[in-house]
Structure 1
Amino acid sequence: MTRVAVVGAGPAGIYAADILTKANAAVTVDIFDRLPTPYGLIRYGVAPDHPRIKEIITALHQVLDDPRIRFIGNVDYGVDVKPEELDPFYDATVIATGADRDRDLDIPGVDLPGSFGGADFVSWYDGHPDVPRDWPLTASQVAVIGAGNVAVDIARILAKTADELLETEIPDNVHRRLLASPVTDVHVFSRRGPGQAKFTPQELRELDESPNVEVIVHPEGMEFDEASLATIRSRRSVKMCVDVLQNWVAREPRDRPRRLHLRFLQAPVEILGTDRVTGLRTETQQLTGDGWVRGTGRYTNWNVQAVYRAIGYRSRPIADLPFDPTTGTIPHDAGRVLDLDGNRIPGRYVTGWIKRGPVGLIGHTKKDASETIASLLADLPALPPAAHRDPAGVLAHLNRRNLEFTTWSGWQRLDRHEIDLGRPHGRKRVKVVPRDEMVEISKRA
């Protein structure tokens, strides 16, 4: 029986395990994750008012129900256990740790209090166990920098009233904090034009579903060059987004207590303030005909008291593996990890965002995993076999290290517990947030 370790229990890792076990009946897979729970960014990176996206969990659950796939949570690969400790138990290892850090924004003032990374805010409102449980929601005017799905998620959560989120799985402490938020206006700034925005039609439309939020698309910046028009003609999703935006520009104002502003062709150049954020300075951009933009030298100062940077995710390095800091990825050849000299590292593979960068949707993740697993299966006859082949040996080793790992059956207990917490309040679930509490519930008999 071939033994494979997958590091990362998000969609990329679970899809890799699924494809591998379906392609080869003589394979068993252990999926490790540093969190006590599976599903990665589906649990901790998707806004709580996105039930349709969270339905992906149903498909991932079916994969993890396969007896040849074992979930081992609360184990940080490279920190709790070194790679060389686990190598004797596996014929190959697939790294699928994704990307959960904020991409840097190199402008003055970025480190001021009141300037926040979008990934950190998402982790907070999703109840991630490793972020502080309080958040300084004190601004009435807020800027969100970015034009992707994460940016519009953040804008929507900030703009909505807290009680609108009560039917979701939002943690109680998040609801209480949002309830006290004084926000009246959220301004979303996109450096490029509407034809280059990265959000999907579904994400865009959801901005307008709240009865308490007026979505305002400002006509300044609603411009299109030749490249924009070509993209609109060739990509149905872009055309759908542009159609929605143009309809919103033309419609009559509605009297709602909160406003969400969409502003295109505005590039952030400085976050203003001395001891805290007091504003954002942007430079108006103009399209260059090829889908890119250049500055015009015209600047605007916006009176905001908080800035959320949602310009993309970034992966973190993995112990003892090469890492390209420019791309935020592990170098590879069709999923085979390469060392600094470009040579293959036997038995090491990579998939997901840490392989290709934080771009693409679930469909891209499946295709990505298929390529990596094809490489692994092609290499398998030449890989040195694992020295210790008994699956129980890995768990015994973790126990000797006094690591409190969680299991698939433990997750099912925690899952039922969260659903039970939500039921009296008419909610789908109430998330348990503290790590030690999640582990304790998972281990109950």
Structure 2
Amino acid sequence: MPPCVLLAGFSCSCQTHFSSKQGTYPRAFGLGLYTRLNKAFFPFADSPGVRFSSCTPKVCIVGSGPAGFYTAQHLLKTHQNVHVDIYERLPVPFGLVRFGVAPDHPEVKNVINTFTQTAKHSRCRFYGNVNVGKDVSVGELKQAYHAVVLSYGAEGNRSMGVPGEGLAGVYSAKDFVGWYNGHPSCRELNPDLNCETAVILGQGNVALDVARVLLSPIDILKKTDITQPALEALVRSQIRRVLIVGRRGPVQVACTIKELREMVNLPGTKSEMVEADFDGVTEALKDLPRPRKRLTELLLKTALDTPGDKEQQRRHQASRTWGFRFFRSPSEVLADADGNKTVGIRLAVTRLEGSGEGARAVLTGEVEDVTCGLVISSIGYKSHPIDPSVPFDTRRAVIPNTMGRVKQATGLYCSGWLKTGPTGVIATTMNNSFDTARSLVEDMESEALDLSSVKTGSEVISALLEERGVKSVSFSDWEKIDSVEMSRGEASGKPREKILTVEEMIQVART
């Protein structure tokens, strides 16, 4: 028998073969067809020693933010044959790196260079403007690929659950950040900044980003990629005071020292703290781990230390103030006489039970009203289910999984915030995504993931999308958008001027 035989009338649909003691033979149209015909054509195949090797593994990733790209990067690096297709709802890639990172943090966006290398890899393809769950189902992706990785992040807002949160002047941090970063869905936000005081609920890095953008000198912002409509609104802004509210104390504050230091050193501003909020904190320092200790020491210094002459002069010249308010939890947003617009917020006073990271805030029964015209809720993002066929934990707003393997759904994986909830920074997401990629590769190698059948991948999905009138955007199309944005930014002295509508993005991509 010759070393390679094809069944008459058939062609080999992949470059894989099965092996036996008698030789190596191509698998015609996958294992299923061979199984039906093997008795007639390869009677020796049932004997001991026959082994089928795998088809080229085809994986699709849903979402092109950090989780999606890091998952793709690790798969391509650790498996020499895998092909990866990345599907993204918007015509532009990079998710929260583009739409979530503060405009005055360009160094954080340098990771885009690494993601671009991944997107241009010979075994990777990007398909933008494809809404999985609407344009194509997860079930259809599972039919077309050996594995599907869901990495579409957390696009929803956590509700405060208090009266008045629907009033004009109340925004989620996700939407507010999306507004000044050019997310198409937030283009019409148009927040009213014609008030003196803004209150931000939450004390994480996103809350500090928002506070910094609200208070930054315009000369700083106009050199960033902040959108022109947001820049113009901030030029007209009357906000001079920002309070950053948290239900626990200084020892539990959720921001990192880098973001806190930026607030402390923000030109034209000074801090405004409540000294009583720091009672007992100095004594607690000795028991804190080093990163938390350094952060708390900076808080204490900012709040309690007598400033030197230079700092005293800087504070004297400051026209804007910011400050943390600890041991406070929102209980109601207060409306004007017409019941339409925000004029203040009622904060319930809390106290801590327990200590350290595990301390829990409990209500004391006291309340405090703060006059303000803008309330921004920065209490967390939330994932939404994408498809009825995908398991989803509605309480935790994550996909139930074990090391990225979706429970009771072979061939389905998840990474990023969809896997863990909205925690950590980009480096956290990187490690989280690498773990998912490792799980997937382990399943390929152990044969827990079935690679025996040929999968058509993007060929069949592209045909489905074309049939449904969906025009996908390739990575080279994105580079046209990128080039136009960079040119527009250069013309106004900025690194980039983002295109703000999906329609214009697609128009530029098609040019």
* CA distance in 1: counterparts of 2:114 and 2:191, whole angstroms: 33
Match of 1:341 in 2: none
* CA distance in 2: counterparts of 1:443 and 1:240, whole angstroms: 51
Instruction: Say how many residue pairs are matched.
Output: 437
* CA distance in 1: counterparts of 2:509 and 2:297, whole angstroms: 48
* CA distance in 2: counterparts of 1:225 and 1:87, whole angstroms: 53
Out of 401, 417, 420, the position equivalent to 1:332 is: 401
Decide whether the 8 Å contact of 1:423 with 1:429 is kept in 2.
yes
Out of 211, 216, 228, the position equivalent to 1:155 is: 211
* CA distance in 1: counterparts of 2:386 and 2:260, whole angstroms: 35
Q: Tell me the CA shift for residue 283 of structure 1.
A: 2.4
* 2:334 counterpart of 1:272: yes
Decide whether the 8 Å contact of 1:28 with 1:69 is kept in 2.
yes
- Equivalent AA in structure 2 for residue 68 of structure 1: R
Out of 469, 474, 477, the position equivalent to 1:407 is: 474
Decide whether the 8 Å contact of 1:163 with 1:179 is kept in 2.
no
Match of 2:139 in 1: 84
- Equivalent AA in structure 2 for residue 305 of structure 1: G
* CA distance in 1: counterparts of 2:284 and 2:80, whole angstroms: 48
* CA distance in 2: counterparts of 1:321 and 1:289, whole angstroms: 38
When normalised by structure 2's length, the TM-score is 0.81
* 2:490 counterpart of 1:423: yes
Q: Tell me the CA shift for residue 408 of structure 1.
A: 0.9
Decide whether the 8 Å contact of 1:350 with 1:372 is kept in 2.
yes
Aligned pairs for 1:348-359 within 5 A: 348-359=412-423
* 2:505 counterpart of 1:438: yes
Out of 33, 52, 68, the position equivalent to 2:107 is: 52
- Equivalent AA in structure 1 for residue 372 of structure 2: V
Match of 1:362 in 2: 426
Out of 268, 288, 298, the position equivalent to 2:366 is: 298
Decide whether the 8 Å contact of 2:245 with 2:325 is kept in 1.
yes
Out of 375, 381, 404, the position equivalent to 2:439 is: 375
* CA distance in 1: counterparts of 2:284 and 2:383, whole angstroms: 30
Q: Tell me the CA shift for residue 426 of structure 1.
A: 2.2
Q: Tell me the CA shift for residue 159 of structure 1.
A: 1.8
* CA distance in 2: counterparts of 1:436 and 1:300, whole angstroms: 46
* CA distance in 1: counterparts of 2:386 and 2:103, whole angstroms: 29
* CA distance in 1: counterparts of 2:228 and 2:495, whole angstroms: 13
Match of 2:7 in 1: none
* CA distance in 2: counterparts of 1:316 and 1:246, whole angstroms: 39
Aligned pairs for 1:120-269 within 5 A: 120-133=175-188, 134-224=190-280, 229=285, 233-236=288-291, 238-249=292-303, 250=305, 251=307, 252=312, 253-269=315-331
Match of 1:289 in 2: 354
Aligned pairs for 1:61-140 within 5 A: 61-133=116-188, 134-140=190-196
The alignment's C-alpha RMSD in Å is 2.0
Paired residue secondary structure (1:345): coil
- Equivalent AA in structure 1 for residue 328 of structure 2: Q
Q: Tell me the CA shift for residue 390 of structure 1.
A: 6.1
* CA distance in 2: counterparts of 1:276 and 1:426, whole angstroms: 37
Paired residue secondary structure (2:272): strand
- Equivalent AA in structure 1 for residue 65 of structure 2: G
> Which structure has the greater CA radius of gyration?
2
The farther-off stretch of 90-99 and 219-228 is 219-228
* CA distance in 2: counterparts of 1:429 and 1:132, whole angstroms: 17
- Equivalent AA in structure 2 for residue 101 of structure 1: G
* CA distance in 1: counterparts of 2:273 and 2:300, whole angstroms: 8
Residues 302-322 of structure 1 deviation map (CA, whole Å, 9 limit, x = unaligned): 111121100111111111212
Q: Tell me the CA shift for residue 298 of structure 1.
A: 2.6
- Equivalent AA in structure 2 for residue 394 of structure 1: I
Paired residue secondary structure (2:322): strand
* CA distance in 2: counterparts of 1:310 and 1:390, whole angstroms: 39
Q: Tell me the CA shift for residue 195 of structure 1.
A: 1.0
Unaligned runs of 5+ in 1: 339-343
Decide whether the 8 Å contact of 1:88 with 1:387 is kept in 2.
no
- Equivalent AA in structure 1 for residue 472 of structure 2: F
* CA distance in 2: counterparts of 1:266 and 1:87, whole angstroms: 47
**Cα distance change, pair 356–158 in 1 and its aligned pair in 2 (3 A):** same
- Equivalent AA in structure 2 for residue 322 of structure 1: P
Q: Tell me the CA shift for residue 141 of structure 1.
A: 1.3
Out of 369, 382, 385, the position equivalent to 1:314 is: 382
Decide whether the 8 Å contact of 2:217 with 2:267 is kept in 1.
no
Q: Tell me the CA shift for residue 131 of structure 1.
A: 1.9
Q: Tell me the CA shift for residue 270 of structure 1.
A: 1.6
Q: Tell me the CA shift for residue 214 of structure 1.
A: 2.1
Decide whether the 8 Å contact of 1:226 with 1:289 is kept in 2.
no
The farther-off stretch of 122-131 and 103-112 is 103-112
* CA distance in 1: counterparts of 2:284 and 2:93, whole angstroms: 39
* CA distance in 2: counterparts of 1:217 and 1:124, whole angstroms: 29
- Equivalent AA in structure 2 for residue 267 of structure 1: S
Decide whether the 8 Å contact of 1:418 with 1:431 is kept in 2.
yes
Identical-pair percentage: 34
The farther-off stretch of 68-77 and 208-217 is 208-217
Out of 51, 62, 68, the position equivalent to 1:13 is: 68
Paired residue secondary structure (1:16): helix
- Equivalent AA in structure 2 for residue 328 of structure 1: A
Paired residue secondary structure (1:271): strand
Aligned pairs for 1:14-33 within 5 A: 14-33=69-88
**Cα distance change, pair 221–194 in 1 and its aligned pair in 2 (3 A):** same
Decide whether the 8 Å contact of 1:92 with 1:348 is kept in 2.
yes
* CA distance in 2: counterparts of 1:53 and 1:215, whole angstroms: 26
Decide whether the 8 Å contact of 1:224 with 1:287 is kept in 2.
no
* CA distance in 2: counterparts of 1:53 and 1:145, whole angstroms: 24
Paired residue secondary structure (1:300): strand
Unaligned runs of 5+ in 2: 1-55
- Equivalent AA in structure 2 for residue 330 of structure 1: I
- Equivalent AA in structure 1 for residue 507 of structure 2: E
When normalised by structure 1's length, the TM-score is 0.93
* CA distance in 1: counterparts of 2:349 and 2:141, whole angstroms: 53
* CA distance in 1: counterparts of 2:419 and 2:229, whole angstroms: 35
Residues 68-94 of structure 1 deviation map (CA, whole Å, 9 limit, x = unaligned): 111111111101111223333211100
